[in-house]
Structure 1
Amino acid sequence: MEFNLIEKQWIPVKRKDGTLDMIAPHEVTERFSENPVVSLNAPRPDFNGALIQFLIGLVQTVAAPQNASEWQRKLKQPPTPDELLAAFMSVRHAFELVCSKKRFLQSFEELTGADLLPIERLLIDAPKQNALDLNKDHFVKRGVVKSMCPSCCATALFAAQTNSPAGGPGFRTSLRGGGPLTTLVAGDGIFTTLWHLIWLNVLENNKFLNLCNSRLRRPSQQFPWRAVLKSSVSE
């Protein structure tokens, strides 16, 4: 089985007429003039929060505007799906959810029997081991989620790796620290599509790069799951 997050239609959305759809990332501007995508439609609020961060990060990385005039132009007239796909395909290799090696946001290490945990442990609110051992899963019960589709699995994985607090031995805080606060710029009633929400939170490329460490340019630094996992910053 192969499941590439650039190519697959895995993101649940709602269109202007209320139609529910599943799109690939580049299809966010599909049918923009007549029936645009207006919002994400994941089954959980934290999934919607994860997906918008995923889309903003993807666009910022490979399709950011070079100047203010380009930003203003594309706010009103977005890139076509084909144009977005061409940009996104440049990083296709980094978004393989299922493959033989270098999987999206996953360790290189092979799992052993002792490492195997229920799929629900990807969910931020799922009871962790201490609660299970002490039988304290009073509000969110164990065993509620027994399986996930590939779309939900990818979203849960990204949500956990981006937003989650520590979860006991072996569970580190997320890439953004423990339970980070996320603030988004939203449209004012005119710019109300999903594309607008993404683009309003994308910086001009030079401004973005000035906020980054310019020495960290290797692919494994741009996409840290492409390198061997470090347990601490001292490694």
Structure 2
Amino acid sequence: MNLLSSPWIPVRHQAGAGSFLLISYRQLLCEDAGWRISLPRDDLEMACLQLLISLTQVLFLPATMDEVEDRLAVPMPESDFDAAATVSSDWFDLDHPTQPFMQTRAVVAKEITPIQKLMIGLPEGNNHCFFDPIGEVKQLSAPVAAIALFNQATNCPSFGGGFKGSLRGGAPITTLIDAEHLRRQVWTNVVSERQLKDELPPSWQHDLSQDRPTWIDPIQAKQVIHATQIGLVRGLFWQPAHVELIRSEHEGRCDVLGIETDQLYTGFRKEKFNFTLEGVWSHPHGARMLKLKKGEPEIKYQSFTTTAPGWTRLSELVVAKPIQKGEGNAPAMPILQASALGIEPLTLIVGGYRNKQASVIERRHELMTLGRGWASKRDQIDLVVGLGLAAKDALRHKLYFAVKGHRDKGLEGLSVPIHLVAEQRFYASSETLILNAIADEGTFDDWPTAREALVEALSVLCRTLFEELTDPFTAKPELIPIVAWARRSLNNELKKLKEGQ
């Protein structure tokens, strides 16, 4: 299967509601149809979109934002596609005899890793049950195998000890922009050459004869690589591991797409491979945290480290801030370009994994819409997020006070960690309030009115959760005083929030 010519993109007609089919990359860019990616897992759908964006970014790099707008407006002429795609067609062949897509030939491994290991978050598949567990994946079709390979190398923790991870760290947050159909989704996230030159090293030039992916121009063992040496193609398709898919000799059904095919993969070989990477490459699809450490700038990519929902990170993902008081942040490049393009409202696709070393413990993929006016008044996003977090902190801190009690006053505490329960319930119940606030153009047009309504709604939620969680304890007379004290303190904090203190 060749990603530039074969029908491999899983889509549905009618903005995702129609019939399922596999289309080619050429069809996607050269036809005006309302396709949407269709896969049974949200992380695979996002990885497929990111793969298509990366292909388009390197093969059809627009010089300016005007060219991006032209590509958004009308499908690409087939002659333009053919002229660019033929230059590097051998790079994207999943079964190429010597240089298969994102793989290394003749990998040496003591055992074959089941293909399920590429389905991030599922167990490796080396189980010894007397029956097949629900959801076990034994064989993948070529489209899913290609998407999963890209996802593993780009967005996931490494395979474990001795294996290198992605250019953005173990489990980075990816931030992309949604659109009404797939072709516009792709082009909305392709950034212009002019913008890339602001982010990549000054000497960078887009040259496919020199900038080649790792499976074409392999990383050498024990090589020391500086991030400034990595070009656009090499960075977007960085493969830090030696991996080789194993193709089945039989026809069958793909366990993910459910299609019958004669091109199935049942496992892969992987081997440890050591090299040293110095510095941080400016990946277009990730938001970066900027810090001063011993007077030197330190850059890391945003990642999910707690169970807190995505809206709590919205400021870092959308609002660019130079380093002040030792910290700053830079949103993903498509977000910066969307502001210049005047895309309003703007719907973000935010995805990633929460991991513990090489193990993925949570899959996170969310949609968040910024209402009209967001581009010129991004400070309001900061303010909305700040109000939500302040209300959460007030509830959590006052319940924690009730849990611990007041020893100096002789007040017994509840001794049950209900403050932790409150935090999770607050996140679950407040998410709609926060997302509706940032999606409402009134938040950006009339902030005082919007603020008043949001604070009132958050206050009602905090008081409701407080009563629900403390009410069972008031059956004990000795606990009533600490609950009353905590309630009064909470009301004082919410009053300060309302008054803007």
Q: TM-score, normalised by structure 1?
A: 0.80
Deviation at 1:115, TM superposition (A): 4.2
1:9 matched to which residue of 2? 7
Alpha-carbon spacing, 1:64–1:233, altered in 2? closer, same or farther (3 Å)? same
Aligned partner of 1:42: which letter?
Answer: L
The reply to whether residue 204 of structure 1 matches residue 204 of structure 2 is no
The reply to whether residue 127 of structure 1 matches residue 123 of structure 2 is yes
Give runs of aligned pairs for residues 12-23 of structure 1, distance below 5 A. 12-16=10-14, 18-23=18-23
Q: Deviations over 1:38-88 (max 9, x none)?
A: 310123212111111111111111212222322222211121345334322
The reply to whether residue 116 of structure 1 matches residue 108 of structure 2 is no
Aligned partner of 2:6: which letter?
Answer: K
Is contact 1:30–1:80 with CA below 8 Å preserved after alignment? yes
1:157 matched to which residue of 2? 149
Q: Deviations over 1:128-178 (max 9, x none)?
A: 59xx69x9x9xxx69811111111111111111111112323443224321
Aligned partner of 1:167: which letter?
Answer: F
Aligned partner of 1:165: which letter?
Answer: P
Is contact 1:9–1:23 with CA below 8 Å preserved after alignment? yes
Q: Tell me the SS of whatever aligns to 2:149.
A: helix
Q: Deviations over 1:9-40 (max 9, x none)?
A: 011011226122211112114541xxx13310
Of the two structures, which has the highest relative contact order with CA contacts closer than 8 Å and spacing of 6 or more?
A: 1
Rounded to whole Å, the distance in 2 between the matches of 1:183 and 1:85 is 30
1:27 matched to which residue of 2? 27
The size of the alignment, in residue pairs, is: 219
Rounded to whole Å, the distance in 2 between the matches of 1:162 and 1:234 is 15
Alpha-carbon spacing, 1:224–1:37, altered in 2? closer, same or farther (3 Å)? farther
The reply to whether residue 233 of structure 1 matches residue 281 of structure 2 is no
Q: Which has the higher strand share?
A: 2
Is contact 2:90–2:96 with CA below 8 Å preserved after alignment? no
Q: Tell me the SS of whatever aligns to 1:84.
A: helix
The reply to whether residue 64 of structure 1 matches residue 54 of structure 2 is no
Aligned partner of 2:101: which letter?
Answer: F
Rounded to whole Å, the distance in 1 between the matches of 2:41 and 2:141 is 14
Alpha-carbon spacing, 1:81–1:61, altered in 2? closer, same or farther (3 Å)? same
Q: Tell me the SS of whatever aligns to 1:184.
A: strand
Deviation at 1:208, TM superposition (A): 1.9
Is contact 2:51–2:147 with CA below 8 Å preserved after alignment? no
Alpha-carbon spacing, 1:67–1:218, altered in 2? closer, same or farther (3 Å)? closer
Deviation at 1:222, TM superposition (A): 3.7
Deviation at 1:94, TM superposition (A): 1.0
Is contact 1:64–1:205 with CA below 8 Å preserved after alignment? yes
1:172 matched to which residue of 2? 164
Is contact 1:12–1:42 with CA below 8 Å preserved after alignment? yes
Q: TM-score, normalised by structure 2?
A: 0.40
Is contact 1:128–1:167 with CA below 8 Å preserved after alignment? no
Rounded to whole Å, the distance in 2 between the matches of 1:14 and 1:74 is 22
Rounded to whole Å, the distance in 2 between the matches of 1:221 and 1:30 is 26
Rounded to whole Å, the distance in 2 between the matches of 1:37 and 1:82 is 22
Aligned residues: percent identity?
Answer: 28
Alpha-carbon spacing, 1:113–1:64, altered in 2? closer, same or farther (3 Å)? closer
Alpha-carbon spacing, 1:185–1:39, altered in 2? closer, same or farther (3 Å)? same
| Structure label with greater radius of gyration | 2
Rounded to whole Å, the distance in 2 between the matches of 1:64 and 1:103 is 24
Q: Tell me the SS of whatever aligns to 1:12.
A: strand
Aligned partner of 1:68: which letter?
Answer: M
Alpha-carbon spacing, 1:75–1:126, altered in 2? closer, same or farther (3 Å)? same
Q: Which moved further from structure 2: 155-164 or 59-68?
A: 59-68
1:223 matched to which residue of 2? 213
Aligned partner of 1:111: which letter?
Answer: V
2:45 matched to which residue of 1? 48
Q: Tell me the SS of whatever aligns to 2:183.
A: helix
Is contact 1:29–1:37 with CA below 8 Å preserved after alignment? no
Rounded to whole Å, the distance in 2 between the matches of 1:97 and 1:61 is 18
Rounded to whole Å, the distance in 1 between the matches of 2:162 and 2:118 is 13
Q: Tell me the SS of whatever aligns to 2:276.
A: coil
Is contact 1:96–1:104 with CA below 8 Å preserved after alignment? yes
Q: Tell me the SS of whatever aligns to 2:177.
A: coil
Is contact 1:29–1:78 with CA below 8 Å preserved after alignment? yes
Rounded to whole Å, the distance in 1 between the matches of 2:44 and 2:135 is 19
Alpha-carbon spacing, 1:128–1:20, altered in 2? closer, same or farther (3 Å)? closer
Alpha-carbon spacing, 1:93–1:71, altered in 2? closer, same or farther (3 Å)? same
Alpha-carbon spacing, 1:147–1:234, altered in 2? closer, same or farther (3 Å)? same
Rounded to whole Å, the distance in 2 between the matches of 1:11 and 1:219 is 27
Deviation at 1:101, TM superposition (A): 1.0
Rounded to whole Å, the distance in 2 between the matches of 1:86 and 1:40 is 26
Deviation at 1:126, TM superposition (A): 2.5
Q: RMSD in angstroms over aligned alpha carbons? A: 3.0
Q: Which moved further from structure 2: 144-153 or 83-92?
A: 83-92
Aligned partner of 1:144: which letter?
Answer: E
Q: Deviations over 1:171-223 (max 9, x none)?
A: 43224321111111223xxxx11111111111112322442234585757441
Rounded to whole Å, the distance in 2 between the matches of 1:220 and 1:128 is 37
